[in-house]
Amino acid sequence: MTETLSIEDLNLLDAVVASTIEPVDPPAALRARILAAARDTPQNTRTVRENEGRWLRLVPGVTMKELSVDETRGTATLLMTFAPGAHLAGHDHHGPEDSFVISGSCRIGSTYLNKGDFHHADGGTHHGEIVSDDGCVLLLVIDRTDYMAA
């Protein structure tokens, strides 16, 4: 299968699968540990470990993982990976997009970015294709509307 599922399709699939699973009560000792950990965790915090979350294939060689969605600020924070030679088509921005290169290098339009570089695109702008000749990992903070449209 080479077709990429949309976020809406994946959410629907998650809901269907979740509705078929019967809940099971955890053992009492495990339940107590979970509740104690929840009490010790500050409210409104979230940690996503490297091996957690779901990587979505956007196009061949480009994957994305959601880290958080902030309804109050209207933003989504994402990780995006590009395999060597991968590219993502140019696109328009409803809202602002901030990109930070964690590793590797890429081009956003005619702008070359290396590890540690930051790029900002204002809302209402268009930037050219994103290309990574050697592969890269990007941290993105984007407008929630743009994220939900992807």
39 in helix, strand or coil?
A: helix
CA nearest 121: which of 99, 146, 88? 99
pLDDT of residue 116: 95
Q: Tell me which of 3.50.50.60, 2.40.30.10, 2.60.120.10, 3.10.20.30 is the CATH number of domain 56-149.
A: 2.60.120.10
Q: How do the domains of the chain map onto residue ranges?
A: 7-40, 56-149
Single pTM value for the model: 0.67
pLDDT of residue 38: 63
Burial string for 74-84 (b: 16+ CB within 10 Å, else e) reads ebbbbbbbbee
Contact criterion met (CB below 8 Å) for 138 and 101? yes
Beta bridge pairs of residue 112: 107
Q: What is the mean pLDDT of each run of 10 residues along the chain (150 residues)?
A: 72 77 78 71 67 86 91 91 94 90 94 94 89 95 83
φ/ψ (deg, to 5) at 81: -115, 140
Contact criterion met (CB below 8 Å) for 7 and 64? no
- Transcribe 70-112 into DSSP letters: ETTTTEEEEEEEE-TTEEE--EE-SS-EEEEEEEEEEEETTEE
pLDDT of residue 150: 66
